[in-house]
Structure formats: structure tokens, C-alpha cells
Chains A and B, each alone.
Chain A
Amino acid sequence: MVSFFKNKGQMKKREKQKIDDKDQSKSKKLEYIDSSISANLDHMKKKTGNSPDIIVRTLKISQNPEIKTTILYVQGLIDNPSVTDFLIESIMKNPHLKEKLLPKEALDVISEEVVSLGGVESVTDWEKLFLSLLSGDSIIFVDGINKALVASTRGGERRSIQEPSTHLTVRGSREGFTESNATNIAMLRRIINSQDLWIESMKIGTVTKTDVSIMYINGIAKEGIVEEVKKRLKGINIDSILESGYIEQLIEDQVMTPFPTLNHTERPDMVAGNLLEGRVAIFVNGSPFVLVAPALFVQFFQSVEDYYNRFDIASATRFLRIIVFIISIVGPAVYVAATTFHQEMIPSKLLVIVAAQRETVPLPAVVEALVMEITFEILREASLRMPKVVGSTMSIVGALVIGQAAVQAGAVSPAMVIIVSITAIASFATPSYSIAISARIVRFGFIICAGVLGFYGMILAFIVLIVHLCSLRSFGVPYMSPLAPLNPEGLGDTFFRRPMWAFKERPKLLSSNNNLIREGDNQRPLPPESRGMKTSDKKKGEGNES
């Protein structure tokens, strides 16, 4: 590790990698815990740079001779009551420890009879010890023994479970993920009570050693995809993982694309739904955003709420979203193409109105569109990053400057303002933020193409876009499926959603193929026969309702 930094800048990437690998294999030589407490504490201080947040509490147990015992923990990472009540207090007050004990016995007694905590184990090497200590566990050294006890006391101040701030819904669970993996995984466990919900954990990041867990439902998830996810995660060799975005960028299929090939969400119910379709979830400690792979294009237009609402309403909403997405991509481009190349396609009256507005505008339509779009992006970015207090001022200034002054001065045509506003609203109406961003980038390409070659340019750009989308894959699954390659069965959950009672199968390309059946036959609700146009058999009690 050290040499890696020393040589930084002097070697090429690949060579560095090699040395790095060698370093790792060297450092695999484990350092073991010494039997003397003072030696251990010295080692500790040396390794951690004498950081003051590592608290060392020395106790004495046993009699004749007294045995020195030390408890180590990191301030803030631990759950205070557990350490004080169940660790320190129990060690100090436990009658067993007042008796005469050999150091060897002492450790066993502590772990078996004294510490009233859930997890206690003994470790011998420093690496594990540090990992536990720095994750919030407490370490107990007993003088004269070259082992240490690790008591799980993880806790400390954390954000509590709150409503997620993205993917808002009217109907559905109000829980959102937090920054703690344990909490997040537990939330999923609460939703899916099955022993088939399998979880695997690993530490990624040579410095941060971030806890990363993958979760899938054994038997539903396709083995190939699970293996692929594991393989890619294991291949990561980076110093730090600070957010799930790091992982996302390191394991996606295609790098040169504006489109997301991994989905992320803050909603446990959404993850559960995805797991049940055979997808794999990746939890990254420290991030409330859980990654879901593989991600398909149509998925970004779906909201969990679609499944909670009735199918007709859900389908209509999805259809609307597609229109919204198209508007947010081509809106300004169509305006530019129509007003600078294809005036014939605008109805005469409308053309006269638009022409009247453009009389005084000094810029060509394409430049006008670009300027307005960029202005909008500036406004958006500014309002995202600035303190909330100034936000309203911002929007007033923005609206006044653009909506009023620019139009009145004749620098911008009102039609353009209308188009840009519609596009802006459209780009926020897409349920997934990540696809909305892609749409915004692609939009600029379209405007330029439309400005250069009108609809010819636009359609060319459109073809390239479609080809590009078709060429993408997410963990081996074609990005545009089930549209292309067409899977008629899968179409029921794309731009429209089939009724819940007709969800017979899981998606073929995602789920394990020998476990596709999702619901029993005849799930269509069969209420008692209606009272409408039926011949009455004149039974008693038929008139009860009235």
C-alpha cells in the first residue's frame, strides 16, 4: 500500500496495479496479538496515530494477582448503553471475576459468563481486530493472553428511518433506506420473510473498507446474473467507496452512454419488488441508495405506485410518462426544426403568430433554444445547491428575468419560453431522476442536430439514439427488453401494466427460468353474481338490500 503512494505519478497505471497486487500479497502476512497488554496498547497507538477517539478503559479483575483488563472502543461508533451497562458494569460487578482466576480462564469467563451482549468472539490477528474496532465493536484485552475478545456494540448516532426524498408516492410505504446497511437489510427482511432471501457481504475499498452486501432471492434470481454481479464486485480494487455511485460506475456494462444501466432507489418496497423479479440488490454502507441490477430501459418509467394503483390508472400514467419523456428529449428540437426548416408543417395561423413573436428576436432559433436551455439548467443547478432560504428569491429572479424582461425586450420569443418551460416540467415528471438527467443531455444533441439539418438531423439523431439503446446491455440483459428483443409475455409490464390477476410469470430474461410462475390460475376476482340483467330465481332474502 505504502509503495503505491510513493510511486504515484512515476509509473503507468498497469505497472502500478501489479505492484499493488504484490503489496497486498505481502501484507497478507498476519500480525498477531501479543500477550502483554502494554505491548498491545503500544502497537495500537502506533497503528492508529494515537487518535483520541479511541477510548482505552483499564479495569482490574480477579484477585491475587490482579489481572489487568483493557476495554477499547471508538467513541461515537458504539452504542453507549451497551458498553457501559453490559460491558464495563458487568465486568466490574460480576462476582465470578472477583474470584481468583488464571488469565486463560478469565477470557473464557468474560465471554461466556460476564458479557451480556449478543455477539462475542475472540480474535488473534490485528487486521480483524482493527476492522471490528473501527466498525464500532469493543475490544477486550486480558493481560497475558495473546487473544482479544470482540463484543459487538455497534451503534451510535445515526439518521433514523425517514420518508425517502426521491421516488415519492402517494400510496405505499413511507419508509426510506438509511445510511446503515444493517438497518437497510433488516428493512428488506421485514418485507420478504423467506429463508431464500440470501445476503452476501464483502468489504470493498482498500482504505475505507466499506461494507457492501448483495441480496437476492435464491431460486428466483438467475444464477448467471448473481455470479456476474459477484464477479464484478470482487474485481473492484479502489481505495474508497463513499457512495453506491462509486460501485455503480465501476460495475456498469457500458461506460460511454448517457443512460443508466443500473437502477438505484431509496425505497425498500421497490427493492423488494425488484428482488422478486429476479434482480440483485447491492447495499453499500453509508448510502441510502441501494443499487438494483440489471436495469432495463422501461424500468425507469415505472414507479412502485403503478403496482399499488389499479391497472387502468397505472397504465395511463405510464403512457403519460413516455410522452413526457419524449417531450423532454425532443421538445425544443422540434420547435427549432419546425421554425427554421419546415415552416410548411406549422398551420398557417400558428406560423403567423410565431413569426410575429420572432420578428424582433436577434438570435437564430437554434441559438435561442440553446441559450434558453442553458439558462434553465443554470437556474436548476443553482436552486439545487443553494441554501433553501434563498431558494424562493432565486425562483422569483429567474421567472422575472426570463419570463418577463427577456420577452418584453424582444430578446427571446414567448413561444420559446413556453417550449422551454414545458420541456423543463416534462423532465421533472419522469419518475427516475437518473433517466431525466440523460434526457436532458440528449436534448442538447437533438437541438444541435435540428439546428443543422432540421428534421433530417433530428431523425438521424433519433436513429442513432435507438441503435445506441438497443446496443446497451445491463449485466448481459439487453437494455431494451422486453421491447427489443420482443417478449410478448413481458410486454404486460412495460408501457402499460396488466391487471394484477394476470401477472402469471416473472420476466424471462431476469428470473431463473425454472421458477417463473408467479401466481396461481384464476386469480381474477369473482364477486358474487351481479343483480343486473339476471333472471330472478325468487329465493328468499334477495331483496335484503332494499
Chain B
Amino acid sequence: MNRKWLVLLLMIGTTFTSGCWDKKELNEIAIVSAMGIDKDKEGKLVGTFQIINPGNVAGSLQGGGGTNPAISVYRATGNNVLGLDSIASTKISRDMYFAHANLIVIGEEIAKEEGINAIFDAFERSPEFRATSRIVIARGVKARDIVETLTAIDKVSAEKVIRTIESSEKQQGRSISVNLQEVIKNLVSTGKEPIISGFTVKGNTDKEDKMENTQTSDIEANPTTAGIGVFKDGKLIDWLDGNKAIGSMWVLDRIAHTNLNIDWNDKKDAITYQVQRQKTNVAAKMKNGKPKMLIKVLVEGDIREANIPVNLNSPHVLIDIEKRLAKDLKKEMEDAIVRAQKNKSDIFGFGEIMHESHPKEWKKIEKDWDDVSFPKLEVDVQVETFIRRTGLRNKPYLSNLKKSDQ
């Protein structure tokens, strides 16, 4: 009986005297929502940490909100990522907590010159950092500019950036939302190179960190998406914009919805087609000892806009439109592939597909895939498009206008 009490006493004793090692009360931590990494003139890393002021986000309770910024920004200079953390913490009264750092912004300069290879280890190794953190490149501006911007609807700008990229990917296919894990996976893989979305702040960049920026309806400094960055050997080498970006996304099978415009009777972008569903299949084949990629795309969608008198009731017309759509899309994708081949960067993961289907041949060409085999790769793109519906009207009203003219 006595022994039982002794054990119990020991247990209680140890738990209370030893204290709570890993305990962090919510009002003792600074929730980091985003982190920006730049380079200064001496080549040192400059970290910018965006920290949430909970009281100003949740607002109503303490009567705050609105008038005070939802975020605070701290800066630090150091030689490695953890160094940044420790230096920044001398300026903050609380422990920085990274588990909710959903966004990592990397300065364009550093991405171009140093490359991103050496940055990510700390993020990956730390149990606090999340593998699902989004990564973007600050294009044309410093990473800190994006991190310190105040935004209106989503009060925490990290969230604004992530949402913007996501919606841009989903609606247009002009950006790609990639997380830490995917980037590292692609950096390591010999058969695929990473691509990362670009982001920039447009407008009056002096005001982005002032509260007044959010107090007008026409926000002066607004962070917007800006193309997709292409990497090779961990360094940023090219930006894909507009159709090139969309074309690459088609090849990558990451398109959810996007609009395709075709010309009709010399009128530019006369018909708009909205993609509802698509599937891209990429397969590798060996032809005469050389690899060849086959890309098959199936697209389904609706006609959403027709600014010319065209009879959408007629299946023949629709087939005609489908064919043109396919042609345009094929061109778009081929352009994107050619661009990638020129960059000597296999952003589409053709190498991985080779590896999966032809492991033996892959072993031989793996070493200089990016520089020799990929640029010369023969790619065959086949596109099939289907128009399923044409919206609430059949003929555009323009066709009736024409009749009354006659």
C-alpha cells in the first residue's frame, strides 16, 4: 500500500516540479502567417516575418479591428534561415510560432542568383513548419513588399495571397499553387523541375504597409499574381505569362476551369468557351531508341460568349467551333512545350513519366535529361474538345439584329 502512494507521489511530484516543457500559451506566442526571404547587398539573407495581431483580426470583442493593422512585420538579417528566426526573436516579445505560416515568399533576386536549393532544409526539418505551406516568388518587388502589404477583405495578407493564387489557378490556370513538399520533391527529382507562381504588388508601393491602403475602396497597392516562374537546377530562369502559363498548366493537367477564345470571321476573340472538365494524359513511348511523349487532352465545356451572329443551334457549326478550339489549344500547349525545351527545364515531369514506364532506358538518359534529351524530345499533342451546352440562349441576339437591318 505504501509503495502505491510512493509511486503516486513521485508521479505527481515529477509532473509539477518538472513543469511543462513544451507548453506555449496562446498569449505567449506570435503566430507567424507568412515569411519572406530576400537578399541584401552583402549577400546575406533578409527575413521578413508577418505576425498576426489576433485582436485586430477577430476584432469585435475588444472593440478594435479595422482601425489597427491585422499584421505586424519584423525583419532580420542572417546567414541561414534559423539565424533569421533567432535574430527576429530579439525584437518580438513572444515566441514566433511557425505552424501557421502558410506562405513563404521568396525574393526574385535570391531565386535568380543563389537559387532556392539551400533555403528549404530548415523548413522541411522542423516539426513546426508545415509541408503544406504555399510558396511564391516575389516578382519585380522584394519579398518583404508582399509580406508587409495590408489588404482589405482578407485582413491577413498571407491569406489574400494564397487565395488569389488558388482562385487564379482554378479560374484561369495562370498561376499554380504549390506547397513546400511539392517544390522539394521536384527539386530533388531528376525528371521534373519545379515551377512556382509569381506575385507582385501593383500600384503605389510606398503605401502598401500603411493602414490607409485599406481605407479606400480603390486600393492603391494591391498584390496580384504575376505569371509562373520556371526553375532549373534550383535557379529561376524564366517567367511564363498569359497563354504560356496556361499552356503549361494544360500539359500539367492542373487546369480546372479556364476560358478559351477563338477568332471568328476576322473578329478577334469572338467566341468564348469555358472549360468545365478536362483530362490530360501524358504517356512516354520509345521510338527508334528515342523517347517520345504522347499528350492526349479531352476537354468539355460550354459556350459562354458569342459576339458575332453565329447559329449555335447547328451541330455543324458547333463541330466547326470545336475543331478550331482544339487547334488553338494544341498550339498553346505546343508553344509552352517549346518554351520549356528552350529553357532546358523539364517542368512537365516528362522525365518522371519515362522513369515510370521505361525504367531501363531512363537509367541511361537520366544524367543529362534536362540538357540533352529533353530539348530534343519529340512531343505529340492531341486535343479533342466538346461543346456540351451553350448557355441560356441558343442564337446570339446579334443574329436577330442583323435581320432587322436587312
Contacts and interface: CB of A to CB of B under 8 A. Distances in A.
Interface stretch (A180-188, A353-361, A382-390): A353-361
A355 B25 CA distance: 9
Contacts of B156: 352
Nearest to B15: A452
Interface stretch (B27-35, B167-175, B201-209): B27-35
Contacts of A358: 25-27
Among A361, A365, A452: residue with most chain B CB under 10 A: A452
B23 A361 contact: no
A451 interface: yes
B99 A343 contact: yes
Nearest to A337: B23
A357 B62 CA distance: 9
B378 interface: no
A361 B27 contact: yes
Nearest to B24: A340
A354 B61 CA distance: 11
B61 A356 contact: yes
Interface string B102-114: 1000000000000
A478 interface: no
B26 A348 contact: no
A339 interface: yes
B298 to A, nearest CB: 36
Interface string B89-120: 00000000101101000000000000000000
Interface in B112-163: 128, 130, 156, 159
Interface stretch (B41-49, B51-59, B271-279, B307-315): B51-59
B100 A357 contact: no
A451 B20 contact: yes
A341 B54 contact: no
B284 to A, nearest CB: 40
B16 to A, nearest CB: 8
Given A352-B58, A359-B62, A341 B31 contact: no
Contacts of A343: 24, 26, 29, 31, 97, 99-100
B368 interface: no
Interface in A318-367: 339-341, 343-344, 348, 351-361, 364-365
B31 A359 contact: no
Contacts of B62: 356, 359-360
Contacts of A451: 20, 23
Contacts of B130: 344
A295 to B, nearest CB: 26
Contacts of A176: none
A454 interface: yes
A505 B32 CA distance: 60
B100 A341 contact: no
Interface residues of B, number: 28
Nearest to B156: A352
Contacts of B27: 355, 358-359, 361
Nearest to B18: A452
Contacts of B59: 356
B33 A348 contact: yes
A452 B97 contact: no
Contacts of B29: 343
A356 B97 contact: no
A454 B25 CA distance: 12
Nearest to A357: B61
B266 interface: no
Nearest to A361: B27
B98 to A, nearest CB: 9
A341 B23 CA distance: 5
Given A343-B24, A360-B62, A352 B57 contact: yes
A416 to B, nearest CB: 11
B22 interface: yes
Contact of B54 (A340, A359, A361): A359
A348 B154 CA distance: 13
B25 A344 contact: no
A339 B25 CA distance: 7
A356 B25 contact: no
Nearest to B70: A352
A353 B55 CA distance: 8
Contacts of A344: 99-100, 128, 130
A365 B25 contact: yes
A343 B33 CA distance: 13
Contacts of B23: 340-341, 364, 451, 454
B54 A355 contact: yes
Given A357-B58, A359-B54, A341 B22 contact: yes
Among B15, B26, B31, B54: residue with most chain A CB under 10 A: B26
Contact of B25 (A340, A348, A448): A340
A340 B130 CA distance: 18
Among A344, A352, A353, A452: residue with most chain B CB under 10 A: A352
A230 B29 CA distance: 62
Nearest to A355: B54
Among A343, A351, A356, A454: residue with most chain B CB under 10 A: A356
Interface in A423-450: 448
Nearest to A449: B15
Contacts of A365: 25-26
Contacts of A452: 15-16, 20
A358 B31 CA distance: 13
Contacts of B100: 343-344, 348, 351
Contacts of B22: 341, 454
Interface in A70-103: none
Contacts of A364: 23, 25
B128 A356 contact: no
A195 B22 CA distance: 66
A136 to B, nearest CB: 46
B208 to A, nearest CB: 22
A339 B130 CA distance: 18
Nearest to A360: B62
Interface in A104-124: none
Contact of B31 (A339, A352, A357, A453): A352
Nearest to A340: B23
A365 to B, nearest CB: 6
Contacts of A352: 31, 52, 54, 57-58, 156
Contacts of A348: 33, 100, 102, 159
Contacts of A357: 58, 61
A339 B23 CA distance: 9
Nearest to B58: A356
A351 B31 contact: yes
B61 A355 contact: no
Contacts of A340: 20, 23-26
Interface string A499-533: 00000000000000000000000000000000000
A355 B31 contact: yes
A364 B58 CA distance: 21
B25 A359 contact: no
B10 to A, nearest CB: 14
A414 B62 CA distance: 12
A340 B24 CA distance: 5
Interface of A: 339-341, 343-344, 348, 351-361, 364-365, 414, 448, 451-454
Given A344-B100, A351-B100, 19 more contacts: A343-B26, A343-B31, A343-B97, A343-B99, A348-B100, A348-B159, A352-B54, A353-B57, A353-B58, A355-B52, A356-B55, A356-B61, A357-B58, A358-B26, A364-B23, A365-B26, A448-B15, A451-B23, A452-B15
30 contacts: A339-B25, A339-B26, A340-B24, A340-B26, A341-B23, A343-B29, A343-B100, A344-B99, A344-B128, A344-B130, A348-B159, A352-B52, A352-B57, A355-B31, A355-B58, A356-B57, A356-B58, A356-B61, A356-B62, A357-B61, A359-B55, A361-B27, A365-B25, A414-B61, A448-B15, A451-B23, A452-B15, A453-B15, A453-B20, A454-B23
Pairs of residues from A and B, 8 with the lowest C-beta to C-beta distance, nearest first: A344-B99, A356-B58, A356-B54, A355-B54, A358-B26, A355-B26, A353-B58, A348-B100
